[in-house]
Amino acid sequence: MCRKTSGILILFVFLFIAGACYAARADAAGEGTAEWVTFPYTASEAESYEYLYVVGGYHSVDNGCPAWGTADSANARFIGDSMGDLVITYDDGTQEKVPLVFGYTMWYFQNWQEESMPFRTENADAELTGLLKSSLHLFGAFEGENKCIFRLKVQNKPIERIQIEDNPEKEGSPVFDGAFLVNGSVSELSGRGFQFDAQDPFFSEHTVDSGDSYPDTVKEAIRKINYALMTYEEDFQNAPDFVYPSDYTGSRVYFTGSPIAEIASGVVYHNLVNLIERTDEDGFMHTSYKDAPSWRYDGFGFWVPAANSYYDSFYSRDGGRGIMTLNTYGLVSKAQDSVMNANQWMMYFPENNITFMGEAVPGHYTVVVNKPMLYSQTLVPDANWPTRYTQEKFGDDYQNLGNQETDGHGLMMLANYNVWKNQGADAEWVNEHWSYINEAAKWILWCFDHPDLSFASDGLLY
């Protein structure tokens, strides 16, 4: 009985394995054969193949850089950066390495879902788009598909092992599911919930050859793309002389002595004009200008036209510095209008009789002055911004402070001071605007008087 049971079990295991092998090969339509393997792959018996259809090509850290950028190349993933290699070991001991390079055998997923310049809008740059389409050998990547494939032509000798080697100098790892090992003519390949046409015309023009795994034509295309997306040292050294427009009547600042100095002169001019234009007649200071593009926080050089990311927002940190800049360049009236606009928004809390744990909340400048509750009611629950003001600790009042924006509050108080000073530093201005001046100071005293609510400690605001 025991021998019979063992025999049946062995037969079942044999049939299961044989069926699995058949299924892996049967997922290829056409006259050829295909076998699906995952990485790292070690052959039980080395065989020769014509092509590998390698499935994957995205990265475990799916962005071009950390939010707010980085100066550490280990955390940057730009076009042309190598994330590692696909290593093929033949049974004679020789190896071939295919570089896993962004723009060639790797690409971005999340960043790429949004239409952006210079590659994917109705105004896309035809030359740069053509260069990217020629260099990018990942089928489905330009279209933003969930799964991508690159076809690799290998040597005509038995393969013993296939593995992915990370670049140890880069954060994260390339993400590849595995590969179809193919001989002969196959059409549709499928597995793991996806399928693709192995005879798609894309592959006839985009096949990686293990004998020339990173062609000069691809390197040159990537080089041209990068020179369009990035700024190089020679760009700074070849900057033209800056000349103020003939009709410009405002303050002029000149830096001289080098191309960098000429750039600085232009930066001052353009930023000042931009600041003036994005400060409305009623004093509302848009944090970004109308139809401003966005390079996104974690991008790789693309930009989204007319993103208007912060056009509807008056950020207190930026606004405080902006108002003081207007003052510095003699635009006192405009600075006055802007600081008054912010002051009116500061009064949102007392004007709406908002309380926190039974205490009246004084007026204060929040992250975005014209959206006093944005931080607590939107950014925390929807964007996971950090906060110590939780419902568990403070009950139903937990969102009532809006947020603590100590830097923005202080900069706005300095902006008030600068406007007063540039208006002549007279007592009349103080008396006229005392309610705002007093309220801003009251907030600081309130924080120190209620450390259990404000988290102020050791003479420092939270």
Mean pLDDT of 361-388: 96
* The pLDDT of residue 290 is above 50: yes
Tens digits of residue pLDDT in 161-213: 999 999 999 999 999 999 999 999 999 999 877 899 999 999 999 999 999 99
Residue 20 has pLDDT above 50, yes or no: no
pLDDT score, position 191: 80
Averaged pLDDT score across all residues of the chain: 93
What pLDDT was estimated at residue 194? 85
Q: Which amino acid is at 31?
A: E
> Quick check: bond before 118 cis, omega within 30?
yes
Give the residue carrying structure tokens 């004084």.
362
pLDDT 10s digits, 236-280:
999 999 999 999 999 999 999 999 999 999 999 999 999 999 999
Q: Does residue 218 carry a pLDDT above 50?
A: yes
**Is the per-residue pLDDT at 21 higher than 50?**
no
- Reply yes or no on whether the pLDDT at 15 is more than 70: no
Higher pLDDT, 105 or 14: 105
pLDDT at 305: 96
Cβ 100 vs Cβ 84: under 8 Å: yes
Please provide the DSSP assignment of 88-107 as one string: EEETTS-EEEEEEEBTTTB-
Neighbouring residues of 115: CB distance < 8 A, sequence distance ≥ 6: 121, 304
**Is residue 154 predicted with pLDDT exceeding 90?**
yes
